[in-house]
Structure 1
């Protein structure tokens, strides 16, 4: 019988070196209403001891000194049904006050599988998930309640003083009837032309020629440099129109592949994964379910306090069937490989694919080709990426958001799902991506 069968509260193992980070994590777990079944330094812990404790969650304080120990504990950490929660040891040691309480509420929500992250006594956050049906109608005023006020206003109408500064215009009159207005708008019909007999009876008026003014010899105002119009030329024989061709030749026509005319960088596909707080666990499940023959590069942009992207690369390389590496400026994004981008790194399309370049603002979603791009927002994704992701979806990109109990910070992912994008657990999203880009077609482009 496992610990989870005996205790209704989640069973948690805390793996951290002795120090301030371990104490802060222990305090957070104490307020999270969980049972700590194991607390130890991973450097001296055996995989069997961790498996014997039968935890449901493992909270790990990441730092460079325990990287080798985590590799040794990999068999136990990869057990089915085990959820890993990573936290930077340096950040956990500095966390205090309001920030520590907020992080503790988020940790408790993840361990208990709910979305309540507000302090006690606060109202629940409004759900961004769309619900079917019409919204509730607000209460309408009753006529009986308004009638006394209407009667009172009518009785006071005669006592309201008039405005002495305004006098109606003298030509003001009551509006005319609709029939009178329409009759006034009827157009006057013109009289019919006279008949031929009547025309003959009418004498043609005598038109006197206009007198020609005399021009003095010295008056140059009437001179002109334009020749008098010559007599009309004799009509010429019209040229016959050219006869239409008897047949329409199609030998010189050909079908052109418009996609092939585009530069290779514009047709290069990419899978962009955006994550943040709570993202390592979701990213681990997404990458672990991707196929090994993925035909596009995978770009991972996840903010880490402390910027320890090297540790993230090592952690994801243990579960991903695709090679995982840290992106460098000037490096080309290789299809079938996972590239972890730092906060100050972006991408630029070239004739032969995507290249990484230094960019202070980080990744720019609009730099990717919409029709060949997929964007996945996991737990903790920045809300600032929601608008550009939806704009890219409107241009033809495939956009999805993580849902489910494992979503630690669902704000951005829920926003794109509420806008009609694809929703699912990380493993389900990986299956959809595999169906889209899991093989190559004949010309080498992504299927």
Structure 2
């Protein structure tokens, strides 16, 4: 197997050091470590990379425009990571990230490192009876074998109040970028992105996603009306409310419930790192006619929510298939 050549575009520091170690553990070669403040597109291309991995922080964000040529090169695989997250990974999370990289670089779905030492785990977890897991596995198989709940076709009315909701978390930014990149500029529904990130730096997320998406990407704000062909990044404390003129964003406590969305004209997608507690809400929306799909465990850093959805009779698809599913339901 040929070793992939990876160029790391990042500032010097702990995040870059840990990422460099993860790349080596993943069986790839670090072709170059480039500081975007001083490097150029020519420096990237001179290293002849197969993969360009960008570790994002505020300074790197400001310097990315001069790398638009390589970032848009279809011959290169582009990966992103967050500097704050990379710098805070412990040994187990670093090993997990390395396996995630390995899966992306070499095309397999084994993304988890060996389980943590049972002696280091909480007593109540380590002492869990083996029979309990066997019972849960058997129950999951029984539920998965149940027939699918029929889903209503989306209404054809131009006044339909629906939207596509994307839920993601750890490992989600790469998945979201790929999904948004597969949707056309005139996609006929609003897209709501609820991406859990540390520090609440949602303005940075808007800039990241705009580089990948064909649609306009904006920060959702209370009082704004939802518009089709627009990706809205949802910060903390916002939900959707129905108003006489349509759907608007409104302040709320806790996580959004999306109750104002017309289910039969909406979708809920559970991508990498989505909170597994969303599965109950997803199944309720599915029963009401919404399109509900998870991200396939292949190349998915954290498929917990998708796996739980599948165990309850839902489906999980690749990112390319997810984009196709949305376009089948809502042709642009």
Tell me which interval the TM-score lies in, with the shorter structure as reference length. 0.7 to 0.9
Deviation at 1:268, TM superposition (A): 0.5
Distance 1:414 1:285, change over 3 A: same
Equivalent position of 1:178 in the other structure? none
In the alignment, the residues of structure 2 paired with residue 412 and residue 72 of structure 1 have an alpha-carbon distance, to the nearest angstrom, of 37
Equivalent position of 1:31 in the other structure? 25
- Output the TM-score relative to the length of structure 1: 0.60
In the alignment, the residues of structure 2 paired with residue 331 and residue 392 of structure 1 have an alpha-carbon distance, to the nearest angstrom, of 24
Distance 1:96 1:120, change over 3 A: closer
Root mean square deviation, CA, Å = 3.2
| Corresponding position: 1:353 with 2:208 | no
Equivalent position of 2:190 in the other structure? 297
| Corresponding position: 1:341 with 2:234 | yes
Superposed, 1:349-428 pairs within 5 Å as 349-403=242-296, 405-428=298-321
Equivalent position of 2:126 in the other structure? none
- Structure number with bigger Rg: 1
Equivalent position of 1:75 in the other structure? 69
Describe the superposition over 1:388-424 as per-residue Cα deviations: whole angstroms up to 9, x where unpaired: 1111101111111222633222221233244443432
Of residues 38, 47, 54 in structure 2, which corresponds to 1:60? 54
Equivalent position of 1:156 in the other structure? none
| Corresponding position: 1:114 with 2:114 | no
SS class of match (2:200) = coil
SS class of match (2:17) = helix
> Which segment is superposed worse, 427-436 or 33-42?
427-436
Describe the superposition over 1:171-225 as per-residue Cα deviations: whole angstroms up to 9, x where unpaired: xxxxxxxxxxxxxxxxxxxxxxxxxxxxxxxxxxxxxxxxxxxxxxxxxxxxxxx
SS class of match (1:44) = coil
Distance 1:403 1:311, change over 3 A: same
Deviation at 1:341, TM superposition (A): 0.6
Distance 1:98 1:285, change over 3 A: closer
Equivalent position of 1:12 in the other structure? 6
- Output the TM-score relative to the length of structure 2: 0.79
Superposed, 1:247-286 pairs within 5 Å as 267-286=160-179
In the alignment, the residues of structure 1 paired with residue 268 and residue 202 of structure 2 have an alpha-carbon distance, to the nearest angstrom, of 20
Distance 1:116 1:314, change over 3 A: closer
Contact 1:85 1:278 in 2 (8 A): no
Question: Where does the alignment leave 5 or more consecutive residues of structure 2 unmatched?
Answer: 119-132, 146-154
Instruction: For CA contacts below 8 A with separation 6 or more, give which structure has more relative contact order.
Output: 2
Equivalent position of 1:42 in the other structure? 36
Of residues 191, 202, 205 in structure 2, which corresponds to 1:309? 202
In the alignment, the residues of structure 1 paired with residue 62 and residue 45 of structure 2 have an alpha-carbon distance, to the nearest angstrom, of 18
In the alignment, the residues of structure 2 paired with residue 96 and residue 327 of structure 1 have an alpha-carbon distance, to the nearest angstrom, of 33
Deviation at 1:70, TM superposition (A): 1.5
Describe the superposition over 1:225-244 as per-residue Cα deviations: whole angstroms up to 9, x where unpaired: xxxxxxxxxxxxxxxxxxxx
Contact 1:109 1:408 in 2 (8 A): no
Contact 2:12 2:35 in 1 (8 A): yes
Equivalent position of 1:198 in the other structure? none
